[in-house]
Homo-oligomer: A and B are copies of this chain.
Amino acid sequence: MTTEPDSWTLVAGGAGFIGSHLCRTLLERGERVLCLDNLQTSRVSNLDILERYPAFRFVKGDISHPLPVEVMRQTRSIRRIYNLACAASPNLYQADPEHTMLTNVVGTDRLLRLAEQSGARFLLTSTSEVYGDPDIHPQPEHYRGNVSCTGPRACYDEGKRAAETLAFDFARMGRADVRVARIFNTYGPQMRIDDGRVVSNFIGQILEGEPLTIYGDGSQTRSFCYVEDTVDALIRLMEADLPEVTPINIGNQHELTIAELVEALGDIVGEEVEVVHRALPTDDPTRRRPDISRARAMLAWEPTTPLVAGLRKTFAWFASEHGARSHARPAPRVHAEPARSRI
């Protein structure tokens, strides 16, 4: 994008985990960033880093409500809209499922209308959850998914599917230039320790000296993408000249079991890590792995951060946060309770 001096890039959800990394990278690229966030699940401290940049503005607001006047009065100068606004962890998005659905549908609709009014290009961050519990592996974009529309995860999964529908309809009607990213598991610094994702859960438990909770037997797989790789893909997707409107998977193809993730973390900590097993939650997908051939072909992108390098940076960040919070707590230690299994 040619950066005009008076143009803005709007990042909805810009105070969140991926959002704050995206804002920083956009600021480093010389873009002026208007961050809209309701601070529902964001770490407010993510804003501290961003507010050091003179080209950064923060507006508190919830996209399921009418957009704040501070955003609307910039309509004519908004050139790019990234929509990352929605709680993304099951424990957080299930706390108020109605709000989750409306954030995805009403919120995305408001931002699409803003894109239409401003002529801005619009990027929706969708999710691998649109594939539900997939029955083909890896998942290509044309796969229609295996989603329960009545289960407890549906507010997020179906909300994102409906948001994609809106984006494609705006594109088909010539109302906006849209891009749709389907983001697979992402990890890195600035995640919430309590957001219920497996990497932050595990690191939090290590730092608290607790055993690691594995849901089920640990044989379910995930593919973890380091957040800087994800952000690189989002910006490429926004800026690319694309021959067609199509969803694009963004994630890491390296698939590992939860048990293998525990092992990798053990290597980083340099200690044997204790685990406990709990029942799998309803509709928890057993396997998830992106087919990223489309991102490779259309964006010349693939993840470049090896898992151990990414986990090491993430662990170091959490440890320093944890140290700051607990005023130099003792180093991680390992419980030994006989009823618990080890990996």
- Give the number of chain A interface residues (Cβ < 8 Å): 35
Which of A155, A158, A170, A247: most chain B CB closer than 10 A?
A158
Partner of A164, one of B145, B149, B172: B149
User: Which residues does chain B contribute within 8 Å of A132, judged by CB atoms?
Assistant: 144
Within the complex, what minimum Cβ distance (angstroms) separates A78 from chain B?
Answer: 20
User: Which residues does chain B contribute within 8 Å of A162, judged by CB atoms?
Assistant: 101, 105, 149, 158-159, 161-162
Within the complex, what minimum Cβ distance (angstroms) separates A146 from chain B?
Answer: 5
Within the complex, what minimum Cβ distance (angstroms) separates A165 from chain B?
Answer: 4
A148 at the interface (CB under 8 A from B): yes
Encoded as 1 (CB less than 8 Å from any B CB) or 0, chain A from 89 to 104 comes to 0000000011001100
B101:A173 contact, CB within 8 angstroms = no
User: Which residues does chain B contribute within 8 Å of A168, judged by CB atoms?
Assistant: 150-151, 154
A247:B165 contact, CB within 8 angstroms = no
**CA A164 to CA B105, docked complex, whole Å:** 14
Residue on B nearest A141 in the bound complex, by CB: B150
Partner of A150, one of B106, B159, B164: B164
A130 at the interface (CB under 8 A from B): yes
A159:B165 contact, CB within 8 angstroms = yes
A147 at the interface (CB under 8 A from B): yes
User: Which residues does chain B contribute within 8 Å of A144, judged by CB atoms?
Assistant: 132, 145-149
A166 at the interface (CB under 8 A from B): yes
Q: A105-B162, A144-B147 are in contact. List 7 more A-B contacts (CB 8 A).
A: A97-B165, A106-B106, A144-B146, A158-B161, A159-B162, A161-B161, A161-B162
21 A-B pairs (CB sep. < 8 Å): A97-B166, A97-B169, A97-B172, A97-B173, A98-B109, A98-B166, A98-B170, A101-B105, A101-B169, A105-B106, A105-B162, A106-B106, A130-B149, A132-B144, A144-B147, A149-B164, A150-B164, A154-B169, A155-B169, A161-B161, A162-B162
